[in-house]
Structure 1
Amino acid sequence: MRQVERAIFDLRRGLTVLIDAPEGRILVAPLEGLDDDVLARLRDDAQGAPRLVVSQHRLARLGLTVDTPAARLPLDDRDSAETVVEWACARTPRDTLPDRGPIATEAPDDAALTLMRRGLLIPAAVTAEVAPERAREITARVASGELLAIDTAAVAAYEAGAPRFLRRISAADVPLAESERTRFVLFREADGLREHVALVIGDPADWSEAVPVRLHSACLTGDLFGSLRCDCGEQLRTSVARISECGGGVLLYLAQEGRGIGLANKLRAYSLQDEGLDTMDADQVLGFGDDEREYNVALEMLAQLEIRRIELLTNNPTKIQAMSQGGVTVVQRSGIYGRLTVQNRRYLTAKAVRGGHWLEHVLGPATQEEDATPAERPHPAPPR
């Protein structure tokens, strides 16, 4: 596990790592920090040409369809680092993508993209198979500590087991405007990159049998600064108040900025939205799916808090499905809303139309173009 964590750290620093697999050894360079010098070193060490590995979401935006989660695009000596980065994540690459055809990925390529996602990097990488004549030199660089080597089995095991290594780190009482009796409990993931907080509201002895629970993905721009591009801040504060009014419960504040893509990529997506894309299309341009969040961490937090039956405060059917499949009984679902604004209408519409979120009360025909809906409207529970 520690080697995988070190690999994630190195990739976030823009360094190259080595992945070992039965299929061979490949060098992996992240898109962030890629320049012509890095590309030249990969070419020197490679057997054949390096290749750009991108997700199927990115390929679809480039007009290419594959049946695998990702694919390789072979590079040649004329391709600059700038061109490669544009192919990987620009809305409209200046140079037309050459007709070299996508090639199905192998285990090392898939492991490379897993590391990028875990590191909150753009899900793309330049990879190169190690040439036989460079094998001894590469081995020496690994032995000296200059180059970090990991194997695909370790990456797969880490990805599968990461939520189980969630550690409860610290806790303190933090009275809030919406709920004076609130205790913050902090959990940390094994790689140290993400920390999640459970807001334990009220006295657990007084909670109802079905504990009111909100799964709230962190949103720096909305929660802290009151961004008008989303309704996250209002949902957060409304959720705390609602849980307090119900006699207490838990709000899980999850480090899943931008539906799981991280703050840096969320800001990139915002720039693409300013060019006319909706929130989901912008994420796909960067190589992400409609929603990259997983809720295994939330399930583990609830397990450590000994909560198994809940009233879930959400407009998102995926959260209900994730809780139910993870062994948590969702007794009831209650809607939780923020205001509709000129700036967030397109965002909320995309969530409703493309993500299936229950937002008809907010986006109904009576809503106005300016501010306008009440911050909170109850929604009936789904059929049980």
Structure 2
Amino acid sequence: MYSAERALFEIRQGRPIWVKPEEGLGPKVSSILAPVENLTESYLNDLRDLSNTGLRLVITHNRAESLGVQTLTTSDGPPKAISIILEPTCDMDQLMLLAFGINQSKDLELGPASRSESISLSLLRLVRLIPAVVSCPVEDNLQETAEGFAKKHDILTTTASEIIKLTNSANSTITKISEATVPLKGMIDTRFILFRESNTLFEHLAVLVGNPEQWEDPVPIRIHSACLTGDLFNSLKCDCGEQLHKSLDYFCENNGGVFLYLNQEGRGIGLSNKLRAYQLQELGLDTIDADCALGFQSDERDYNVGMKMLHELEVNRILILTNNPDKLNWAKNAGLEVIGRMPLYGEPNEYNLPYVRTKIERAGHFLEEMIAQRPNNHPVTVLPEQSS
């Protein structure tokens, strides 16, 4: 998996990688893959000069649908990646428009994305770049030329199977890196513990409020995805900052609890793409369609890391503060005893209401009472006893 780990950091820097096939798995066609987001006109021309079959733009199925193209289907549903044959005259402006711009392009020439091309998109999503790559297929008659090109440009090689191992969150481990007492206003007895993921080196924070020996049973917990705009700047477009502060207030009033602050800005797409999604929302898309138009899933978050953090903290019976059914399901599937759920409502306003309504209607969040603007007194919902 070492080559894939190096490939991850190459991709993060916007550098191309060469994904080669494994022995005995299908045709021997590999691909040199360059992330669109950091590609230059000069490098695009270099790739075009190398190719003898033409370049392709590889995008996700979600992005293809947003372009209005009729996507290919397979026996088990739509493909996860689509290959668009690029015109020889396609320049960077046209390429960027295809990758994450706003347009409807129904006359594009489509082809099936190879296994290597499809899997490479998972690396980009993992490092929160736009999931779109320019692919230069390398067939047998191009191997020697491609080797020289790769040497000249210091292109790293890896395999599809190595990438799969790396991007599977179940294979990622977390390590406790550091901890310290950090007194907060109204919560003097508070400890911060920082964990780091092995596959991405992303860092996540566990905030332990109060003395663990005096915590209630079940332990109140909040799994909170970082939101710079809401948590720090009090953005009116979401209710994240209000949920953060109401969670900490609840812990302060109820003998403490655990606040997990996960590095998953913008439902896992990162701050740069979150701002891009905001631009698309200004043009009329809702929060889910905007993410999909950028090539992402409706929710890219993976709560495995949060479950592992709770395991490290030896927290097993929980009262979860959330409106999100996905968090309940992740906790139950991780073997935690979810004894109850407490909702967290922000104040509705003209800027966050479209966002809240979309979460209710399309993601199943428990936010109807927030829309109804009922009194801010939210009882705990005791969940049915879990089967063993």
Residue number among 131, 136, 147 corresponding to 1:139 in the alignment: 147
User: 1:199 is matched with which residue: 197, 207, 213?
Assistant: 207
Q: Secondary structure at the match of 1:196?
A: strand
How far the C-alpha of 1:5 sits from its partner, in A, is 3.0
Aligned position for 2:235: 227
Moved more, 272-281 or 145-154: 145-154
Distance 1:376 1:191, change over 3 A: farther
Match of 1:370 in 2: none
Query: Which runs of structure 2 are paired with 1:48-127 in the superposition (5 Å)?
Result: 48-63=53-68, 64-65=70-71, 66=73, 67-92=78-103, 96-101=105-110, 103-127=111-135
- Paired residues of 1:162 and 1:190 also in contact (CA < 8 A): no
**Given residue 359 of structure 1, which amino acid in structure 2 is its aligned partner?**
L
Distance 1:309 1:89 in 2: 43
Deviation at 1:280, TM superposition (A): 0.8
Which has the higher mean CA deviation after the structures are superposed, 33-42 or 224-233?
33-42
Q: Which residue of 1 aligns with 2:49?
A: 44
The residue correspondences of 1:6-25 to structure 2 (distance < 5 A) are 6-22=6-22, 23=27, 24-25=29-30
Letter in 1 for 2:62: H
Q: For 2:40, give the aligned amino acid.
A: D
Q: Secondary structure at the match of 1:242?
A: helix
SS of alignment partner, residue 90 of structure 2: coil
Q: How many Å separate the matches in 1 of 2:338 and 2:265?
A: 24
C-alpha contact (below 8 Å) 2:338/2:383 kept by paired residues: no
Q: What one-letter code is carried by the residue in structure 1 that aligns with 2:51?
A: A
Residue 177 of structure 1 pairs with residue 185 of structure 2? yes
Q: Deviations over 1:224-268 (max 9, x none)?
A: 111111111110011011123221221100001000101010000
Partner SS, residue 204 of structure 2: strand
Deviation of 1:52 after TM superposition, in Å, equals 1.1
Runs of 5+ unmatched residues, structure 1: 368-372
For residue 374 of structure 1, report the CA deviation from its aligned partner: 5.8
**Structure 1 residue 321 displacement after superposition:** 0.6
1:262 aligns to what?
270
2 CA distance for matches of 1:73 and 1:241?
Answer: 51
| Cα distance change of structure 1 residues 356 and 109 upon mapping to structure 2, 3 Å threshold | same
| Per-residue deviation, residues 191-221 of structure 1 (Å, max 9, x unmatched) | 4541100001111111223211110000001
Structure 2: stretches of 5+ with no match in the other structure: none
Structure 1 residues 136-145 or 298-307, which shifts more? 136-145
- Give how far 1:141 is off: 5.4
CA, structure 1 residues 374+198, in 2 after alignment: closer, same or farther (shift >3 Å)? farther
Q: Does 1:361 align with 2:366?
A: no
Percent identity of paired positions between Structure 1 and Structure 2? 39
- What residue in structure 2 maps to residue 275 of structure 1? 283
Whichever residue aligns with residue 26 of structure 1, its letter is S
The offset of 1:342, in angstroms, is 1.4
